[in-house]
Amino acid sequence: MVEWSKMKTTSDEIRNMPAGREMDILIARHVLELGNYVIDNFDDYRDMNFSTNIKHAFDVLEKFSHAKLSKYECGKEWACYLGATAGKADTAPLAICRAALLVVEEHTRGQED
């Protein structure tokens, strides 16, 4: 995995990060581990909308063996569980991306301890 510490993104920042290009780039770099060419030229890859497009978000889910996606009964929030890690958001793609980034952050933090 790419060194997460270079991004200095904390779990609180991930939980509050909005959908958009910044999150999509973090997903491409740290979850999907796409090459530097793709990252450096990410604007050329506008179809990689992981945090806003459910089809692309499912590409992220495929990287994990234990995933559960659900919508709370009140119908206002989605939750994505990747093992014991949960990402929550108003949309399913954003919940998936937050959960994926939290897993990477937790894994990297565990290696630093």
Decide the pairing of beta strands 67-71 and 78-82: antiparallel
User: What are the sequence ranges of the domains in the chain?
Assistant: 8-112
Q: Are 33 and 1 in contact (CB under 8 A)?
A: yes
Q: Which fold has domain 8-112?
A: Bacillus phage protein (3.30.2120)
- What does the buried/exposed string (b/e) look like for 25-34 if buried means 16 or more CB atoms within 10 Å of the residue's CB? bbbbbbbeeb
Per-residue pLDDT of the chain (113 residues; tens, 9 = 90+): 344 445 567 899 999 999 998 899 899 888 888 877 776 777 766 778 999 999 999 999 999 988 899 987 676 899 999 999 999 999 999 999 999 999 998 887 766 65
Length of the chain measured in residues: 113
Q: Are 56 and 65 in contact (CB under 8 A)?
A: no
Please give the model's pTM, rounded to 2 decimal places: 0.84
User: What is the Cα–Cα distance from 85 to 55, expressed in whole angstroms?
Assistant: 21
